[in-house]
Structure 1
Amino acid sequence: MSLAVFALCTALVAVAVYRLSRVGHRPAGYPPGPPTLPLIGNLHLMPAEKPHLQFQKWAEEYGPVYSLILGTKVMVVLSSDQAIKDLLDKRSGIYSSRPDMYLGQVVSGGLRMLLMKYGETWRMLRKLVHNNLNIKAARTYVPYQDLENKAMLVGFLESPDLFIDHIRRYTNSLTTQMIFGFRTTSIDDPKLKQLFSGFEKFSEILGKTVAALLDLFPVLRSLPDFALPLRRYAKQLHKKESELYIGHWLNVKKAIKNGTAKPCFCVDLVRAQDEENFSDALAGYVSGSMLEAGSDTTAATLIGFVQAMVLFPEVAKRAQEELDRVCGDHFPTLDDDLPYIQGCIKESMRWMPTAILGVPHAVIRDDEYMGYTIPKGAGMLLNVYAIHNDPKRHPNPRRFDPARYADDHQTAAEAAKNSNAAMRDHFLFGAGRRLCQGMHIAERSLFFAMARLLWAFDFHPARDANGNDIVPDPNDLTEGMLVQPKAFPAYITPRDEGKAARVKEEWDKMGDLLDEELQWKVLPDGLIWKKYNNATKPA
């Protein structure tokens, strides 16, 4: 070997060693953060359980914008309302993509809108979804919400121990009507159970350490499945999930084409597929993503609300005093002025945020903020729990107190758009162009549920065999990207015989609207969907 070649090889090795030595190092100018180790950065510090608590501690130590160096990747954590407003809202043009979430994409077949990177396909789908979930469209779904809420109340009356199941059927049936045109009539519906079980497992996978390692060190993805059992499990979940979502889609698509389907979102989705020629798999996941979004987050928030009513009986009492004063013997409706109930809605989403650390965004080019460098491709984490539990923003934050919002009459959408970041009520619905488009519907569903449950029922701790109260722990949450309280018992009873009778009467009135299979005989007036014109495309 010549001296020149030897010198070149030595120089290349030196450069490679130097570059390798910088992996895991926090470059100068990046936001501050915990001390790093070579190669792995802060990876060794990432908690396996309850990550929101550690992220909150780091925010207290390093400030509203800090960084985590995770191997070859950078995660910038936004822990203040102002930082989220300045970056994810005001600079949404470059902060609306998603970081790599490899195992999440395996489960989703690369088709789930939630994880989809910012681009032409996502923008096309977002526009389609917006047209069906905007505030004008949301008003037309109120008859669905009214019907399903009354069915839920009967469920609470007849089998209160199954309150979680009744809540999930309520949110799921509302969504299946909007998306596919049919009601989910039973808490034992196997597709209902599969949806919630599957989405919980999907969320758990995204929170696993192995999932993070595969994102941070892509070379590990070349390992065979026997060496990556979590990926093998993810593939199994995808098979079951795609059967559910694409199966729903193909069934309703066939009915739409032959003219037997009821009006629903999928009518517009079929029309869009005719125009854009995208696959049935993508269409299945678009409709399936909306199904899981409309079913899971609202249900989880309501489960948290029930827990809060058990833990804070003084809140339930004050809400019932407002309901009795305003509504008397009639069911609460959207026309009733119930500011404390509206406060319960906002406080539920603050106190028990299901997207406890948000869903990460990604920046698509280098940027600068507060004098810090934010590199292209960095993940941007919404530290929702830390913001919601900042005592300067919300004094005594672990107390459930709807009176915090006594002077806040904004809808969630209005709060998210408020130019004053401090005036935003909560961050459950995300930020920027990734803001949840179903928030108008979710807020109404929460209103119907919270107002009428408190109007009709009392909530107390369940008791064990010795007569002792079983007090649920609000910190005992499921793990994963999306969380909720772990299952807990509650003792739920009608407030009086008159209200129990009224719940039955209101449901009996619905009988005239439903056929023998408990599906709508004739759909409510005002729904936004147009009929499908089958003349343009063959089935």
Structure 2
Amino acid sequence: MPKPWVAICLGFVTFLLWQLSKIGRRPSNYPPGPPTLPLIGNLHQMPTKNAHLQFQKWAQEYGPVYSLMLGTKVAIVLSSDVAVKDLLDKRSSIYSGRPELYMGQEIMSGGYRPLFMGNNAVWKMVRKLAHGVLSVKVSRSYVPYQDLEVRAMLMGLLESPNDFLNHIRRYTTSLTTQMAFGYRTLESNDENLLEMFEFWLQSAALLDLYPIARVLPDFLLPVRRMGREYHKREMKLFMKHFINARTQLKSGTAKARYLEPISQDIEQPCCAIDLLRAQKEHGFSDELGCYLSGSLLQAGSETTAVILIGFFQAMLVFPDVAKEAQAEIDRVCGNRMPDLNDFPDLPYIRACMKESLRWMPATALGVPHAATQDDSYMGYHIPKDSALILNVWAIHNDPKQHPDPRRFNPARWAGDNQNSAQAAVNPDPSKRDHFVFGAGRRLCQGMHIADRSLFLAIARTLWAFDLKRQVDKQTGQEIIPDVDNIKDGLFISPMPFVADIVPRSESRAAAVREEWGKVAGLLDEDMQWKTVPEGLKWKDYEPLDDGNEDLLESLS
């Protein structure tokens, strides 16, 4: 080989080795973080369990803004309320993207899942549509669903108290299937949501962090083939309900109120019907439409279920909280079951709701944002396309902000009358109560619906039942749940635990049956709605034009 070609080849090899040597290495101007290894960066240190605890430890060691080098990618971890406000809120125009999620979005979602969409024209249309079906005004029509399903949950607790975890999940699932597709769920939720996210988390690393691996054929990448099969099953499920909604709309058996005055008569509102009306104006595909509805179902049901399960666990570990809450309910409601109109008169119950959201945040590490351009913060460089991870667990358990953070203490919220939306847009980051629903333009627009669902479930459960610890038959000792035994995943959740759930009195048990009987007559032989009652609304203390929605929309 001629000498010039030898030099060129050596030069090319040297350049290639130099480029490879940069993979996984943290540049000096990046935020600090744990030591790296060539090519893999911090991948070898990524925890296989209790990731939220490891991310919290790194925050304690490296500060409120640190970086992780993940193969060819970089993640910036935000672990303080101030950092979240400064970047995801105040600079939302450049921090509302999503990192490329090849497995989660392209393969397992066909590009249709709004949760994983980048900040593009389609996502902006989707966000506008979501606001149309989840706004404060429109969501009042979902109150009958919430009222009915809480009563159904109480009946479940009365008849089969040992299945309380399933009753909670059925409550949140049935509520969201009604909101999304207009039908009630009679059994505990299926595992589609958990299957999707657990599979994605287990399989995404190689293909997301090393894109060159995507050129391999499917027989060498069985996870990609399995991901496509999952997408087919999910699409079939969502499309079935979406087409059923279209059949109802064409036959005149369903009414919708997409962007129509809330004062109109409503038979059985659901998002799928609303989106079908909107489809005529915006021209989006059935595939996108069914995923819009289906995503509302998935996100809403699991998050609320985890928060409620955490609350039940907390009442067993901290029984004095339950006693104080019950004293307030009895003082305000007496023998009458609480309803939404008791909201302003039950501040301790509202504080229990806030503390539940802080204490067991379902989204402990959130869904990552992405920087759409280079930026700097605190003297550090934040490169374009880096992932921004919202370290919810670390923020919620910061002892400076929340003393004794693993104690369930509703008293820490005394005098805080903000709902989740008001707290999310408070200009003072220290006044935000929780980050379960995200930040910036990616804030969940159904926060007020979740607040109502949690308030009703907590108030009515404590009104009707005592949540007691089971006694071990062999030792005679009370069984106290292990609050550190948490199931991992995109959604964290307490591992199953036992409890004795008993009516507070025979009269309360009879009242639960009576209240269920009042609404059961509205259901047909298949336990689906025959007619939806009118009049179940908030009163004037929740104004429709208090400016909260304008503030939320200003982030978009």
TM-score by length of structure 1 reads: 0.93
**Letter of the structure 2 residue corresponding to residue 243 of structure 1:** K
Of residues 349-358 and 144-153 in structure 1, the stretch that sits farther from structure 2 once superposed is 144-153
1:2 CA displacement: 4.3
Residues in 2 aligned to 1:224 and 1:344: alpha-carbon distance in whole angstroms? 52
Q: Residue 421 of structure 1: which of 417, 429, 445 is its match?
A: 429
**Letter of the structure 2 residue corresponding to residue 219 of structure 1:** I
Residues in 2 aligned to 1:7 and 1:181: alpha-carbon distance in whole angstroms? 70
Partner of 1:47: 47
**Letter of the structure 2 residue corresponding to residue 448 of structure 1:** L
**Letter of the structure 2 residue corresponding to residue 423 of structure 1:** K
Partner of 1:172: 173
Partner SS state of residue 87, structure 1: helix
Q: Residue 203 of structure 1: which of 197, 212, 224 is its match?
A: 197
1:469 CA displacement: 2.9
Residues in 2 aligned to 1:49 and 1:429: alpha-carbon distance in whole angstroms? 23
Of residues 233-242 and 333-342 in structure 1, the stretch that sits farther from structure 2 once superposed is 233-242
Q: Are 2:330 and 1:318 equivalent residues in the alignment?
A: no
Q: Are the aligned partners of 2:272 and 2:290 in contact in 1 as well (CA < 8 Å)?
A: no
**Letter of the structure 1 residue corresponding to residue 426 of structure 2:** N
Partner of 1:156: 157
Q: Residue 418 of structure 2: which of 378, 386, 410 is its match?
A: 410
Q: Are the aligned partners of 1:103 and 1:231 in contact in 2 as well (CA < 8 Å)?
A: yes
Are residues 237 and 489 of structure 1, via their aligned partners in 2, closer, same or farther at CA, if it must alter by over 3 Å?
farther
Partner SS state of residue 193, structure 1: coil
Q: Are the aligned partners of 2:144 and 2:536 in contact in 1 as well (CA < 8 Å)?
A: no
Q: Residue 475 of structure 1: which of 451, 469, 484 is its match?
A: 484
Q: Residue 394 of structure 2: which of 367, 386, 394 is its match?
A: 386
Q: Are the aligned partners of 1:207 and 1:479 in contact in 2 as well (CA < 8 Å)?
A: no
Q: Are 2:221 and 1:228 equivalent residues in the alignment?
A: yes
Q: Are the aligned partners of 2:371 and 2:385 in contact in 1 as well (CA < 8 Å)?
A: yes
Counterpart mapping for 1:137-536 below 5 A: 137-184=138-185, 186-187=186-187, 193-194=189-190, 197-208=191-202, 210-261=203-254, 262-336=268-342, 337-466=345-474, 467-525=476-534
Residues in 2 aligned to 1:255 and 1:377: alpha-carbon distance in whole angstroms? 43
**Letter of the structure 2 residue corresponding to residue 267 of structure 1:** I
1:110 CA displacement: 2.0
TM-score by length of structure 2 reads: 0.90
Q: Are the aligned partners of 1:133 and 1:437 in contact in 2 as well (CA < 8 Å)?
A: yes
Structure 2 unmatched ranges of 5 or more: 255-267, 538-556
Partner SS state of residue 77, structure 1: strand
1:380-400 C-alpha deviation (Å, 9 max, x unpaired): 000000111110010000111
Residues in 2 aligned to 1:523 and 1:133: alpha-carbon distance in whole angstroms? 19
1:324 CA displacement: 0.9
Q: Are the aligned partners of 1:148 and 1:174 in contact in 2 as well (CA < 8 Å)?
A: yes
1:527 CA displacement: 10
1:405-446 C-alpha deviation (Å, 9 max, x unpaired): 012110111001000001100000100011011110000000
1:318-340 C-alpha deviation (Å, 9 max, x unpaired): 10111111111111122221111
1:255 CA displacement: 1.8
1:15 CA displacement: 1.7
- RMSD between aligned alpha carbons? 1.8
Q: Are the aligned partners of 1:175 and 1:294 in contact in 2 as well (CA < 8 Å)?
A: yes
Partner of 1:26: 26
1:18 CA displacement: 1.1
Partner of 2:76: 76
Q: Are the aligned partners of 2:332 and 2:346 in contact in 1 as well (CA < 8 Å)?
A: yes
Are residues 150 and 240 of structure 1, via their aligned partners in 2, closer, same or farther at CA, if it must alter by over 3 Å?
same
1:525 CA displacement: 4.0
Residues in 1 aligned to 2:503 and 2:364: alpha-carbon distance in whole angstroms? 33
Q: Are the aligned partners of 1:176 and 1:291 in contact in 2 as well (CA < 8 Å)?
A: yes
Residues in 2 aligned to 1:13 and 1:228: alpha-carbon distance in whole angstroms? 29
**Letter of the structure 2 residue corresponding to residue 200 of structure 1:** L
Number of residue pairs matched? 520
Structure 1 unmatched ranges of 5 or more: 529-539
1:483 CA displacement: 1.4
1:64 CA displacement: 0.3
Are residues 464 and 222 of structure 1, via their aligned partners in 2, closer, same or farther at CA, if it must alter by over 3 Å?
farther
**Letter of the structure 2 residue corresponding to residue 474 of structure 1:** V
**Letter of the structure 1 residue corresponding to residue 189 of structure 2:** K
Residues in 2 aligned to 1:227 and 1:479: alpha-carbon distance in whole angstroms? 28
Partner SS state of residue 76, structure 1: strand
Of residues 160-169 and 435-444 in structure 1, the stretch that sits farther from structure 2 once superposed is 160-169
1:241-296 C-alpha deviation (Å, 9 max, x unpaired): 22211111111122212222344222221123223332222211111001112211
Partner SS state of residue 470, structure 1: coil
1:3 CA displacement: 4.0
Q: Are the aligned partners of 2:176 and 2:297 in contact in 1 as well (CA < 8 Å)?
A: yes
Partner SS state of residue 140, structure 1: helix
1:169 CA displacement: 1.7
**Letter of the structure 2 residue corresponding to residue 332 of structure 1:** P
Are residues 232 and 470 of structure 1, via their aligned partners in 2, closer, same or farther at CA, if it must alter by over 3 Å?
farther
Residues in 2 aligned to 1:476 and 1:240: alpha-carbon distance in whole angstroms? 32
Q: Are the aligned partners of 1:85 and 1:421 in contact in 2 as well (CA < 8 Å)?
A: yes
Determine what percentage of the aligned residue pairs are the same residue.
Answer: 58
Partner SS state of residue 118, structure 2: coil
Are residues 79 and 362 of structure 1, via their aligned partners in 2, closer, same or farther at CA, if it must alter by over 3 Å?
same
Of residues 135-144 and 363-372 in structure 1, the stretch that sits farther from structure 2 once superposed is 135-144
Q: Are the aligned partners of 1:361 and 1:379 in contact in 2 as well (CA < 8 Å)?
A: yes
Partner SS state of residue 513, structure 1: coil
Partner of 2:91: 91
Partner of 1:113: 114
1:48-95 C-alpha deviation (Å, 9 max, x unpaired): 111111111110010000000111110000000000000000111110
Q: Are the aligned partners of 1:363 and 1:379 in contact in 2 as well (CA < 8 Å)?
A: yes
**Letter of the structure 1 residue corresponding to residue 120 of structure 2:** G
Partner SS state of residue 492, structure 1: strand
Residues in 2 aligned to 1:223 and 1:5: alpha-carbon distance in whole angstroms? 31
Q: Are the aligned partners of 2:74 and 2:387 in contact in 1 as well (CA < 8 Å)?
A: yes
